[in-house]
Structure 1
Amino acid sequence: MLSVKKNETEIRIEETTLNVTLLRGEACWKWDQGYVPRMESEENTWKFTDATTIRHEIVENGVGAGIRSHFGGFESDGKSCSYEFETLVWIEACTGDVFFEWIPLCEEGMQIRRVYWPGHMAFEKASPDWYTVLNMQQGVLIPNTWETKLDEIPFEGRFGTAGGYMPWFAQFRGEEGYVAICTTPWNAGYGVKHPEQGPYTQVGIWFEPSLGKMEYRRITRYTLIEEGDYNTACKIYRRYVKEDGRLCTLAEKAARVQRVDELIGCSFLHKGIKTYVQPQSDFYDAKHPDKNNWLTGFATRAKEIADLHQKGAGKLYLHLDGWAEPGYDNNHPDYMPPCKEAGGREGMKELADTMHRCGDLFGIHDQYRDYYRSAASFEEEYACRLVDGSIPTHQRWAGGPQSYLCGTQAPYYVRRNFTALEEQGIQLDCAYLDVFTCNEGDECNNPRHRMTRKDCQEERNRCFDYLMSKGILPSSEEVSDWCVPSMVFSHYAPYDFMLRQPGSPRYGIPVPLFSLVYHDCLIVPWMMEKVSETEDYMLYALLNGGAPYLCRDGAYPNVDGAFDEGIRLSLEEKIERCKAVSRLHQKIAKCEMVRHTMVNKDPGIQKTEFADGTEVTVDFYQQIYRIGTKTEVGEWKKV
């Protein structure tokens, strides 16, 4: 047994099994005995202990101390290869945090697909007070006794996607816990296992290559919590991104572009102009061809805006799909000119001008990842190329066959297209660059524009930053940790269950992890569907202090939570519901969410507290809410 201690924290490593134990005060966290540190290729698995050469040494420097382990002498295809790597587990003296570092030294002889290290903790006890929190979309808390098996995680739990809005997870045994932060998240994610009825949840980190190589040091930081809960974990992570210079608030963004303040308090409208589904598209309905295409004129949309104001809808933001001639999800990145059948440039300009006369904001859907082969500028040379030379293709969306545009090219197309719109006199307040923050970063191995996933995220932020420089507020599909400094708002940031068929089993208790970290940094609109007499999404909009959707016309049926189910509400009812949410958002949009609680440990009654003292309590049983403060609790209201 090797052991190192610094101040209150100690690490122990068993030399034969490589099992790690972390200790701080009375807390003891040990890897599950069933966990095996390993690397995988497509064909083989190598345990770390398969190395014929393993050396351990105690290391210490001016900032901490730890245990370095060297591994070499592996076999591949029955032959010895020169693959070597090190691990370093060390304690930072001033914080007590424990860092796990996986360091490649020589990558010859093996083609690694994934490394599973550090391992999952021993966490088996049939207790609801033992729980795991995951950043699967907005956030989920899984008690060890949760009855539903956790099935497929979006994007395999990859950090920087809908499966991992933020690169961390946490586990608690009552008030004692830890938070694990992946500080090199670009080619990493989490794996998790929770069987039906528990009584355990296993969660650990995986790392994958970048352009075919592990190449760089991979780091995960563990902070042990002697007394706290998931709120504590969120605030530890918020402090981490603030120290890292990545906590950019709405107040800071509004200082750059005043229009940020104008978007706060809006009700959101999601509408379209033209849909044209290519026969080659997976969505093409050959049996009902009349369902593939439809058109609504710009003038019709302008009249709808005027009618909404007559009915007292208040300040609006319009997100407009399908505004260009090819139709929604067609021909990108060559998405011009404005749809002629719908009124062309003059019609689109008049719609924008109408909204501005009403005091509203106008924005468009756009796309710089899906690279359609029908686009006039399409060249396979600029499509993302994998390490093996292949170019991924599919035909899922309306525009039919496509590849992915290398992200290094996206900023140039953004500048080209938005300059053209500006020259046509169409004033944009906002722009939505689709899928950038929902899907993983792409890689491209074309030597003329080679790009890692980290590079891709930086290029996507360059697109957002360009829009901000022009006074146009940038948004994308969902939210992600890496985009916070550059993006102003999203299409949504839902709980995972909201994107599944209503009534589907839930994988845990929804908790607002992303809001607890970033509420005052991004504007998030929320679904407002009244799903049934016992389920109303308006309560989640209030609880999270977000913006409301007055109308959300999904581009594709039964995709992205656009289910044609639920209780039908009149337009007047929708407007009144949106007003209640908008008033709250106007008040607290720039406030940190400081705490979320389940009242009396009951997940059916939840409360959020904001930095200005506002408290929002929702009762999911009775479908009621109240807004107040600690001294003025407010009246209960029915949604």
Structure 2
Amino acid sequence: MTSIEVNSIRICFDEESLRFTLYRKETAWEWSESYIPHFEWEGGKIEFKDADSISHERVENGLGVGIRSRYQGFSIEGSQVPYTFETYVWIEKTTEDIYFEWIPICEDGIQVKRVYWPGAMAFENKREDWYTLLNCQQGLLIPNTWETELGPLVFDGFFGTAGGYMPWFGQVKEGEGCLALCTTPWNGGIQAKHPAGGPYTHVNVYFEPSLGRMGYRRVMRYTLMSRCDYNDMCKAYRTYVNEQGKLRTLREKAAKVPAVDRLIGSGFVHAGIKTHVCENSDFFDPNEPDKNNHLTTFAERAAQMRELHEAGAKKVYLHLDGWAQPGYDNQHPDYTPACEEAGGWAGMKSLADTMDELGYMFGIHDQYRDFYLSAPSFDEDYACRLTDGTIPQHQRWAGGPQSFLCGTQAPYYVKRNFAAIRENEIHLDCAYLDVFTCNEGDECSNPRHRMSRRDCYEARNQCFDYLMSKGILPSSEEVNDWCVPSMVFCHYAPYDFMLREPGSPKFGVPVPLFNLVYHDCLIEPWMMDRVSDDEDYMLYALLNGGAPYLLRDGAYPNFDGSFETLGLGLKEDIKRCDVVCKLHEKVAKCEMVRHEMVDGDYTIQRTVFADGTAVTVDFGKQTYEVVYGMDGK
């Protein structure tokens, strides 16, 4: 057993089991007994202990104290290969943070698929004050006593996706906490297991290769905390992001593009023009052909906007799907011209002008990831290519067969397409670049435009930045840690249960982890459906200080949260939205400073914002109370 210590932090390392135990004073965080350090390759699983040569050394330098281990040489199908890696676990003297580093040294002989290290913590006590925090969409808190089994995380918990809005997770036991933060998140994620009723929740980290190789050092940072809760962990992460220079607030974005202030407090309307589902699409319905094609003219949409105005809707943002000739989710990135049957460029300009006249805001749906084979510019040479030379394809969406456009090309297509819109004198306030912020970054091995996932995220942000430079507020499907500096708003940032059929069991207690970090950085519209007599999503919109959906007509029925709900009528919808809009006007630029369970009751929750505004909701009684701070009324 090797032990190192810095101030109140101590690490013990068992050279036989290769397991670590972390201590803050007397509180121990040890790896689960079931965990064995290992990695996967195409031939199966290889344990770290199977290395031909294993050595450990104590390291002390100007930054801290650590343990470096070297694993050299492995026997693969009867042959010795020189594959070598190191691990380095060390304590930073200045902060007392603990770093776990996995470092590739020689990658000859084995093509790794996944490294599972560091291990899951033993977290076994069936107590309500033992809980786990997961950044699956808006946020999830799982007490060890939670009765519902945790289902699969979307995107397998991959960081940078809807399954990992932020690259960290945390665990708290009786006020003692362990915050696990990935500082190299581009090719990593988490897996989590919580059986029905507990008594444990295990969370493990995994890392995948980039362009066929592990390539670079992978780092997890553990912060051990005392007298803490999930609020403290969110604020610790906010501090980390700020130190990285990536905390960009709405105030800063509004200083660059003042239209941000117009969007704050708006009711969101999601509507479309043309739907065309191709026969070779998985969504095509041969039995009900009317579902496959639909058209609403630009003039009809303009009339609808006037009706909203006459009904009393004060501030509105219209997100317009299917505005181009190919129809929704067809032929991207070659999406222009405007739909001729709906009125063409002139009709679209008339709708945009109507929005201006009404004092409303106007934006369009667009797409620069899906690369449709039917697109005139389709060329396999610019599609994402895997390291084995293959080009992934599918036919899920309305436009039929597609591959994925290499992200390096997306900024060029954005410039081309938005130039065409400007040439037709259509004024856009906003633009929505679909799927960028919920899907993983792509990789491309084509040497002409080789791209890692990290490169891909940077290219997506370039698209957002270009729109901002033209005074157009950029948005995308969900939110994510990496897009915060460049994006202004999203389609939604929901709790995970909101995208499942209403009434489905919740995998834990929904908590606004993302908003506790980033509320004042992005505008998030929230579903407002009263899905049943027992659940009203308006309460979540209020609790999160977000913008409301006034009307939401999803492109694909019973998909992405678009389910049949209780109809309330337009006047009631506007009345409910006015309540949420008023709150959003007040707190959009305020940090969410705290979230709490009132008297420990999960069904009664309260959020407090930096201006003192407090929102309390009772999910059991379906009631809310808003108390405005400072000069609010």
Q: Is TM (by shorter chain) over 0.5?
A: yes
SS of residue paired to 1:82: strand
* Native 8 Å contact 2:373 2:402 kept in 1: yes
Residue equivalent to 1:580: 579
State the identity %. 65
Task: Tell whether the 8 Å contact from 1:367 to 1:433 is kept in structure 2 after alignment.
Answer: yes
CA separation of 1:274/1:109 partners in 2, compared to 1, >3 Å: closer, same or farther? same
2:543/2:606 contact within 8 Å kept: yes
Q: Could you give the per-residue CA deviations for residues 139-171 of structure 1, whole angstroms, max 9, x where no partner exists?
A: 000011111111111000000000000000000
Write out aligned runs for 1:443-482 (5 A).
443-482=443-482
Quick one: distance in 2 between partners of 1:633 and 1:379? 56
Output the aligned Cα RMSD. Answer: 1.1
Deviation at 1:196, TM superposition (A): 1.1
Aligned to 2:570: 571
- What's 1:552 paired with? 552
| 8 A contact 1:25–1:226 mirrored in 2 | no
Query: Given the two structures, how large is their TM-score scaled by the length of structure 1?
Result: 0.98
Counterpart of 1:5 in structure 2 is 5
Amino acid aligned to 2:187: N
Cα deviation for residue 513 of structure 1 reads: 0.3
Deviates more, 1:555-564 or 1:574-583: 555-564
Task: Supply the distance in 2 between the matched residues of 1:413 and 1:546 (Cα, whole angstroms).
Answer: 32
DSSP-derived class of the 2:327 partner: coil
In the comparison of the two structures, how many residue pairs are matched? 633
| AA matched with 1:41 | W
For 1:280 and 1:33, the matched residues in 2 are separated by 50
Cα distance in structure 2, aligned partners of 1:560 and 1:419: 31
1:313 & 1:298 partners in 2: Cα distance? 20
**SS of alignment partner, residue 242 of structure 2:** helix
| CA–CA separation in structure 2 for the residues paired with 1:617 and 1:26 | 37
Q: Does the 8 Å contact 2:611/2:630 carry over to 1?
A: no
2:83 alignment counterpart: 83
Instruction: For 1:555 and 1:454, locate their aligned partners in 2 and report how far apart those are by CA, in whole Å.
Output: 30
Q: 8 Å contact 1:54–1:72 — kept in the other structure?
A: yes
Give the match for residue 637 of structure 1. none
Aligned to 2:269: 269
Query: Which residue number in structure 2 is paired with residue 591 of structure 1?
Result: 590
The alpha carbon displacement at 1:227 in A equals 1.0
Q: 1:222 to 1:300 in 2, by over 3 A?
A: same
1:8-39: CA deviation from partner (whole Å, max 9, x where unpaired): 21111001111101111232111111110101
Trace 1:229-628 onto structure 2 (pairs within 5 A): 229-564=229-564, 566-628=565-627
Maintained 8 Å contact 1:259/1:473: yes
Deviation at 1:78, TM superposition (A): 1.9
> What is the CA–CA distance in structure 2 between the aligned matches of 1:629 and 1:469, rounded to whole Å?
35
Does the residue aligned with 1:186 lie in a helix, a strand or coil? helix
Question: Post-superposition shift, 1:631?
Answer: 10
Structure 1 residues 315 and 631: alpha-carbon distance in aligned structure 2, compared to 1, 3 A threshold: closer
SS at structure 1 position matched to 2:115 = strand
Could you say which residue in structure 2 is the equivalent of 1:102?
Answer: 102
What are the superposed Cα offsets for residues 202-252 of structure 1, whole Å, 9 maximum, x if unpaired? Answer: 001100000000000000000001111011110010000000000000000
Matches within 5 A, 1:12-51: 12-51=12-51
Structure 2 counterpart of 1:315, one-letter code? K
Aligned to 1:121: 121
Could you tell me which residue of structure 2 aligns to residue 93 of structure 1? 93
Q: Equivalents in 2 of 1:73, 1:433: separation in Å?
A: 46
Distance 2:139 2:166 in 1: 10
Shift of 1:632: 12
Inter-partner Cα distance in structure 2 for 1:297 and 1:234: 46
Q: Distance in 2 between matches of 1:575 and 1:631?
A: 27
Task: Tell me how far 1:43 sits from its aligned partner.
Answer: 2.4
Residue 60 of structure 2 aligns with which residue?
A: 60
What per-residue deviation string (whole Å, max 9, x for no partner) do you get for residues 266-324 of structure 1? 00000000000000000000011111000000001001111101111111000000000
Amino acid at match of 1:172: V
The offset of 1:630, in angstroms, is 7.9
Q: Please, what TM-score do these two structures have when normalized by structure 2?
A: 0.99
Stretches of structure 2 that go unaligned for 5 or more consecutive residues are: none
Question: Contact 1:140/1:508 (CA < 8 Å) preserved in 2?
Answer: yes
| Counterpart contact for 1:627–1:633, Cα < 8 Å | no
Q: Contact (CA 8 Å) 1:27, 1:226: kept in 2 or not?
A: no
AA of the residue aligned to 1:518: Y
The letter for the 1-side match of 2:625 is R
- Partners of 1:473 and 1:259 in 2: how far apart? 8
CA distance in 2 between partners of 1:228 and 1:120 (Å): 20
